[in-house]
Amino acid sequence: MTIREKAAAMKLDSPKMAAQPAQIRNKALAAIAKALEENQDAVFEANEKDLAKAKQNNIPEAVLKRLKFSPQKLEDAIKGINNLIALPDRVHEKLFVRELDEGLTLVKETCPIGVIGVIFEARPDALVQIASLCIKSGNCAILKGGSETKYTNKILFSLIYKAAVASGLPENCLFQAELRDEISELLECHGYVDLIIPRGSNAFVQYIMDNTKIPVMGHADGICHIYVDRNFDIDKAVSIIIDAKTQYTAACNAVETLLVHKDAVDILMPKLNEAFKAHRIELRASRDISEKYDCAVADEEDFATEYLDLIISAKTVKDIDEAVSHINKYGSHHTDCIITEDKDAAEYFMQMVDSAGVYQNCSTRFADGFRYGFGAEVGISTGKIHARGPVGIDGLLTYKYKLYGNGHIVDDYAKGKKEFHFKDIG
């Protein structure tokens, strides 16, 4: 069966999947958690095969760390599933009930999107998290994970799929694509696949966005900023900047550019520069800073670069408006933070910066579905259409309008025989 044939079959089954009551979807999640727990040895064994192969291929240590499915990660994954089960069901929620006229009632009700294709990096916990979120939200899903976790994904998917179907979910609820060619096939499935969620490098996500007619949700780059305003607390500033740069340097929500109010530079920089040195962070800055602190001069390209490394660019700005303009021009509308004790300045910044996340006095690293209390996330969206920021269950839902009448026709309203009275009743 080709991916297109499979997607067509899923599309036909997707209303059945959408119709599953919360009880069945939660039962499937519980069965999955149980299957993972009971078969952990087989999972770890498969993961060892992936790790051995990765070591043969001289995969860097940082990537090996992501590939490794440790008992701790499995425990976290199972805890994640249990958190999802505990979350309230959002699938058949009435967003409003409106009487348009006597006997004519409009209900706006949430429903799953349908068939979702998720392409994700080589991280075994990602497969568990994504499959669980799709089940909780009543969506069918085609999953394509990174090839470096081939063996681990194969057994994880098999356990998840069997538990899901045994719990009563439709046969076409989930499908695993295993070959790299299948990504191109998947991108051609418009009409059958309702949404593609790609995760991975900037170039990879951009490629997906440019090569499909299916709507794509996600983010290519993540150039996040921290702006230090004139009225700031230096200890908070240094601690937040260091956390945002070093807590997970390769993450999309790590800070890449620091903007500093001209009146703040001389107070902030001596202490911050010491911290940069202590953490081996390379500073590239505007001329005024580079002259005083003996670092490279940042150019236009620096400000447009997602380093994903222990490098940070910095620039002195004359006021908050210059900071906002810089962020709206060079940023990727992901997550940007102001450090200030001035409430009005914070509100102004958070209003004017056109990003999914706008923060005051905290690390950009908080941009994450788990940390937002969503239970889990399928990804982070920098788009403005549909879900924005970390995407949990809500971002995997759409809605439909149900209209209940009793023989109502439009002609009566067009001719003035009847009139709408629009009364929200729920």
Q: Which of 24, 43, 40, 3 is nearest to 135 (CA)?
A: 24
Cβ 52 to its own copies shortest distance, Å: 29
Cβ 109 to its own copies shortest distance, Å: 9
Cβ 236 to its own copies shortest distance, Å: 4
Q: Which is nearer to its own copies, 270 or 373 (CB)?
A: 373
What Å distances lie between residue 124 and 10, 39, 66, 173, 276, CA to CA? 24, 15, 8, 20, 33
Q: Which is nearer to its own copies, 42 or 403 (CB)?
A: 403
Q: Which of 187, 186, 177, 182 is nearest to 150 (CA)?
A: 177
Lookup result for tokens 């490629």:
207
Q: Which is nearer to its own copies, 32 or 358 (CB)?
A: 358
- Strand, coil or helix: what is 270? helix
Cβ 334 to its own copies shortest distance, Å: 11
- C-alpha 102/C-alpha 107 separation (Å) is 14
Q: Which is nearer to its own copies, 172 or 176 (CB)?
A: 172
Cβ 151 to its own copies shortest distance, Å: 28
Phi, psi for 173 (deg, rounded to 5): -70, -40
Three-state secondary structure readout of 203-236: HHHHHHHHCCCCCECCCCCCCEEEEECCCCCHHH
Q: Which is nearer to its own copies, 1 or 414 (CB)?
A: 414
Q: Which is nearer to its own copies, 167 or 363 (CB)?
A: 363
The upper half-sphere exposure of residue 309, i.e. CA atoms within 13 Å in the direction of its Cβ, equals 9
- Strand, coil or helix: what is 114? coil
- C-alpha 152/C-alpha 40 separation (Å) is 11
Question: Which helix (DSSP H) or strand (DSSP E) does residue 198 occupy?
Answer: strand 195-198
**Single-letter amino acid, residue 129:** Q
Q: Which is nearer to its own copies, 31 or 393 (CB)?
A: 393
Q: Which is nearer to its own copies, 22 or 295 (CB)?
A: 22
Cβ 297 to its own copies shortest distance, Å: 26
Phi, psi for 94 (deg, rounded to 5): -80, 115
- C-alpha 229/C-alpha 213 separation (Å) is 43
Cβ 186 to its own copies shortest distance, Å: 17
Cβ 2 to its own copies shortest distance, Å: 19
CB count within 10 Å of CB 346 equals 20
- C-alpha 300/C-alpha 310 separation (Å) is 19
Q: Which is nearer to its own copies, 154 or 408 (CB)?
A: 408
User: Where would I find the H helices in 57-149?
Assistant: 61-67, 71-86, 124-136
Cβ 82 to its own copies shortest distance, Å: 15
Q: Which is nearer to its own copies, 18 or 160 (CB)?
A: 18
Q: Which is nearer to its own copies, 129 or 139 (CB)?
A: 139
Sheet containing 423-424: which strands, arranged edge to edge? Answer: 104-112, 94-101, 423-424
- Pair 348, 331: CB distance under 8 Å: no
- Work out the burial of residue 410: count CB atoms within 10 Å of its CB; fewer than 13 is exposed, 13-18 middle, 19 or more buried: exposed
Cβ 35 to its own copies shortest distance, Å: 28
Cβ 95 to its own copies shortest distance, Å: 9
Q: Note the maximum CA span of the chain.
A: 81
